[in-house]
């Protein structure tokens, strides 16, 4: 009986992570595009930079409470910079730039094709032999993307370029996940997560200043709320929680959060932001979840 609380803790973290990341898709959409009744765009890189800037001290405070060291040895800086580029920078830049042109649900579905790309990277980079499940996974994901892309092209406001950015973000994140798992680091993983977030925040601020400095303005209340949610829930909790799950739970159990996040993102966006759902969205969502599920049933765990 004494071990019951510890056994339940990963399940609680998993449930909270699914909720936080799933709901964040309509939250981000609200932050960068405004409410449907009164659309008002906000510079997306600036939105992300502000979220990270506030989230870094929140994450630092959490690590201090947990007594996780913040110091990073000199020999680990090179690896940390490479991991930051593939796990944080490319993902956050591309997905936030794609989001204004996509519904939050469609962006979530495309972004969480990451495990499928991880399966492909395993074959291409590490010589793992593809099996039936991998073939089914890639086929389902390809058909789902084709449905989404067809729908985007068919709309006057559609943006195939945004679809490509979301898929590119997922592919690079998948590559970064492989790099992270194979990295030889002398410090706790949460220390690396802190410095990855810090480095990404600095670079994001620089990009926002270069490309959006002329558009800077004080954020409206709905943008402030979205930034606060991202800073506290996503950068202060979700990233650290994901790595905690990856280390403490069986791969298939932790992958449940990945499979459920795009589902929650799609339907919460439809309910909250009034985003119309078409048959392509339902079909693509089913195909993407099936693709991710089959990819995650492989022998080698994927995040």
CA distances (Å), origin 245, targets 23, 164, 182, 257: 19, 29, 17, 10
**Per-residue pLDDT, 165:** 93
Using a pLDDT cut of 90, give the percent of the chain over it. 41
More confident residue, 10 or 250: 10
- Of 179, 206, 201, the closest CA to residue 58 belongs to 201
Other C-beta atoms closer than 10 Å to the C-beta of 171 total 20
**Per-residue pLDDT, 302:** 38
**Per-residue pLDDT, 290:** 80
Q: How confident is the model at residue 212 (pLDDT cuts 50, 70, 90)?
A: very high
Q: Is 65 exposed, middle or buried (0-12, 13-18, 19+ CB in 10 A)?
A: exposed
- Tell me the per-residue pLDDT of 254-302, one tens digit each, with 9 for 90 and over: 555 577 788 888 888 888 888 777 787 788 888 877 877 776 665 444 3
Over residues 185-197, the mean pLDDT reads: 91
Question: What's the mean pLDDT when you consider all of the chain?
Answer: 83
Over residues 205-234, the mean pLDDT reads: 96
**Per-residue pLDDT, 246:** 60
Q: How confident is the model at residue 57 (pLDDT cuts 50, 70, 90)?
A: very high
Q: What is the Cα gyration radius of the chain?
A: 19
Phi-psi region of 73 (alpha: psi -120 to 50; beta: other; left: phi over 0): beta
Residue located via tokens 């929650």 = 264
- Tell me the per-residue pLDDT of 84-138, one tens digit each, with 9 for 90 and over: 999 999 999 999 999 998 888 888 888 888 878 887 888 888 877 767 777 777 7
CA distances (Å), origin 142, targets 34, 113, 149: 31, 10, 10
Rounded distance between C-alpha atoms, residue 187 and residue 170, angstroms: 27
- Of 104, 216, 218, the closest CA to residue 162 belongs to 104
**Per-residue pLDDT, 119:** 79
Task: Say if CB 80 and CB 196 are below 8 A apart.
Answer: yes
Q: How many CA atoms lie within 13 A of 182 on its CB side?
A: 12
Residue located via tokens 């001290």 = 57
Structural tokens at position 4: 């019951």
Over residues 147-167, the mean pLDDT reads: 72
């Amino acid at each position: 009986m004494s071990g019951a609380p510890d056994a339940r803790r990963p399940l609680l973290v998993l449930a909270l992570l699914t909720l936080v990341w799933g709901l964040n898709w309509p939250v981000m959409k609200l932050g960068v595009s405004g409410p449907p009744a009164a659309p008002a765009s906000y510079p997306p890189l600036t939105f992300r930079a502000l979220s990270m800037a506030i989230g870094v001290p929140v994450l630092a405070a959490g690590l201090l409470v947990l007594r996780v060291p913040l110091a990073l040895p000199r020999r680990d800086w090179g690896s940390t910079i490479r991991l930051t580029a593939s796990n944080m920078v490319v993902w956050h830049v591309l997905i936030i730039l794609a989001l204004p042109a996509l519904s939050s649900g469609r962006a979530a579905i495309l972004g969480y094709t990451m495990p499928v790309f991880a399966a492909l990277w395993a074959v291409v980079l590490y010589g793992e032999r593809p099996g039936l499940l991998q073939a089914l996974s890639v086929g389902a994901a390809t058909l789902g993307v084709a449905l989404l892309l067809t729908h985007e092209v068919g709309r006057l406001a559609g943006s195939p370029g945004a679809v490509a950015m979301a898929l590119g973000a997922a592919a690079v994140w998948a590559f970064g996940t492989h790099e992270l798992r194979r990295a030889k680091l002398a410090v706790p993983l949460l220390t690396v997560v802190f410095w990855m977030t810090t480095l990404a925040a600095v670079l994001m601020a620089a990009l926002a200043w270069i490309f959006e400095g002329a558009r800077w303005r004080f954020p409206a209340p709905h943008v402030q709320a979205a930034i606060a949610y991202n800073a506290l829930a996503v950068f202060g909790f979700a990233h650290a929680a994901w790595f905690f799950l990856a280390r403490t739970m069986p791969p298939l159990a932790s992958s449940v959060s990945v499979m459920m996040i795009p589902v929650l993102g799609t339907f919460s966006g439809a309910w909250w932001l009034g985003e119309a759902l078409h048959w392509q969205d339902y079909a693509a969502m089913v195909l993407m979840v099936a693709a991710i599920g089959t990819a995650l049933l492989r022998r080698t765990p994927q995040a």
